[in-house]
Structure 1
Amino acid sequence: MMIRWVWAFLDRPAAHFDAATEFWTAVTGTTLSPRRGERDEFLTLLPESGAATIKMQSIDGPARIHLDLDVDDVSAATDHAIGLGATLAADYILTSRIGYAVLRSPAGMPFCFTPFHDSAGDLTPTVTGPAGDRSRLDQICLDIGDSDYDIESRFWTDLTGWAWRPSTFPEFSRLSARPDLPIDFLLQRLGENRPTAAHPDLACTDIDATAAWHESLGAHRTDRGKHWIVMADPAGQPYCLTSRKPA
């Protein structure tokens, strides 16, 4: 099984959806597609150039993120994932009507297999903030409970087939996608036990300048590490600004 494209799907509560879409289009240098779905709940963030990598969904529950993985054969990919320990989400069994599959990883991370339709295209350009800092959403961090870390990290390594490598920090490891894919996965071992969730990471040339810009757009800082700043978007969903260099 080959993953042909990766989508970061930002699920945001309906009450905060407009503020969240305004924020994420600003910080990613995108515009909104027309809304679609039975309840107009879906949209795509369209870059000025390059291939889109971010979608958003208005939901009834709390803010979260899930992954859409484009594949050539959704049914075969679903069987492969179930063989590795994934489960089909309730009421979302693959059918010819919906054309995709909604699953959860062994420790509960939601993701979808979706059909790959055409060539993906070039990476989107970096976004320049008011102070001249540049940033790009280039990574999804999977936040994994301590007791689930081994089985969950093995699942994502086997599912993606991407190269695994350790980080300089013991609680992190990385799955590096092929160069033609826009998003890598960072695996973070938490100091607590809870279902796996995820947050976006933006690579920045100046994390403090980017944080100040994002604050002016409605985000706020919640924590700071040695090489990153933890932020919350206008819907309260965490994301990180990291000192990795944008491509």
Structure 2
Amino acid sequence: MSPTWITAFLDSTPAAFDDSVAYWSALTGYDLSPPRGDAGEFATLVPRDGDAFLRVQRLAEGPDRIHLDLHVPDARAAADAAVGLGATEVADLGYVVLRSPGGFTFCYVTHEAATRPRPATWPGGHSSLVDQVCLDIPATSYDRESLFWSELTGWEERGSTVSTDFHSLVRPAGQPIRLLLQRLHDPTGDVRAHLDWATSDRAAETERHVGLGATVRDTQSHWTVLEDPTGRVYCLTDRDPETGVLP
């Protein structure tokens, strides 16, 4: 069942949660919604326009991570189909929590959303937007995991002009989140993920992030690897913030 919308969750330990939320709210320019959940563990980063696609969660245990919510009309039916493709169901809480064959956590939810927020324009004139989740997949599980996500979403898989270690899933028009599949050199381990930004000026955007507390870890020809003040790694890329593709 192809998702009608995808939300990315920044999941943080209790010790890192407040600092992580403050940083990502300042970085995106999005306000934070009132908390919700039994323990006030969930909140939404509310964009200036369009529908929300970034949320935060305070974890009870485990390390910081990214997980995805896939929005569908019928969460139960979608979860059953995902299990048929190789997923493992973890819990049915009204929304259904699952893990991919490679161990990546995702959920099926029924919340409706339809309007992709526009990129933000910053002082100096450049623009940027969080618009991609990169699934970091160990080499031994790459083929199976890539096929799983292509079948799960119904999105076509496409090779990259940058590296044979990257494949993307072609995002339907209006979707807020692209999915990039990265083959890691690590042979084993669970699939994990990080967020990617698209920006019209990577140097200016890097300076903006560093000014808010980020640390530059690496710079490549088409992307820069950053670490936020709590240790979460993410990337800035040269992709067009409107289209999501390289110029």
User: Could you state the TM-score of these two structures normalised by the residue count of structure 1?
Assistant: 0.93
Contact 2:227-2:233 within 8 A present in 1 as well: yes
Q: Secondary structure at the match of 1:239?
A: strand
Question: How far does residue 25 in structure 1 lie from its aligned partner after superposition?
Answer: 1.3
Question: How far does residue 101 in structure 1 lie from its aligned partner after superposition?
Answer: 0.8
Amino acid at match of 1:35: P
Matched, 1:23 2:17: no
Matches for 1:31-180 after TM superposition, within 5 Å: 31-59=31-59, 60-89=61-90, 92=91, 94=92, 98-116=93-111, 118=112, 120-168=113-161, 169-180=163-174
Question: How far does residue 198 in structure 1 lie from its aligned partner after superposition?
Answer: 0.6
Question: How far does residue 207 in structure 1 lie from its aligned partner after superposition?
Answer: 1.2
Matched, 1:210 2:205: yes
Q: Secondary structure at the match of 1:79?
A: helix
Across the aligned residues of Structure 1 and Structure 2, the Cα RMSD in angstroms comes to 1.2
Question: How far does residue 132 in structure 1 lie from its aligned partner after superposition?
Answer: 2.8
2:16 and 2:120 map into 1 onto residues whose CA distance is: 24
Question: How far does residue 105 in structure 1 lie from its aligned partner after superposition?
Answer: 0.4
Amino acid at match of 1:216: G
Q: Secondary structure at the match of 1:241?
A: strand
Contact 1:130-1:213 within 8 A present in 2 as well: no
Match of 1:182 among 171, 176, 185: 176
Contact 1:206-1:243 within 8 A present in 2 as well: yes
2:213 and 2:230 map into 1 onto residues whose CA distance is: 9
Q: Which runs of 5+ in 1 are unaligned?
A: none
User: Could you state the TM-score of these two structures normalised by the residue count of structure 2?
Assistant: 0.93
**What whole-Å deviation, never above 9, does each CA across 1:96-132 have from its counterpart, x for those lacking one?**
xx2111111001010001113x3x2322121233443
2:184 and 2:202 map into 1 onto residues whose CA distance is: 23
Amino acid at match of 2:10: L
Q: Which runs of 5+ in 2 are unaligned?
A: 243-247
Amino acid at match of 1:58: R
Q: Which residue of the partner structure matches residue 191 of structure 2?
A: 196
Contact 2:5-2:114 within 8 A present in 1 as well: no
Contact 2:10-2:66 within 8 A present in 1 as well: yes
Superposed structure 1 runs of 4+ greater than 2 Å apart: 128-133
Amino acid at match of 1:141: C
Q: Which residue of the partner structure matches residue 222 of structure 2?
A: 227
**What whole-Å deviation, never above 9, does each CA across 1:47-100 have from its counterpart, x for those lacking one?**
1111110000011332110000011111111111111111012xx2x2xxx211
Point out the more displaced range, 187-196 or 130-139: 130-139
2:160 and 2:80 map into 1 onto residues whose CA distance is: 31
1:52 and 1:65 map into 2 onto residues whose CA distance is: 16
Question: How far does residue 239 in structure 1 lie from its aligned partner after superposition?
Answer: 0.6
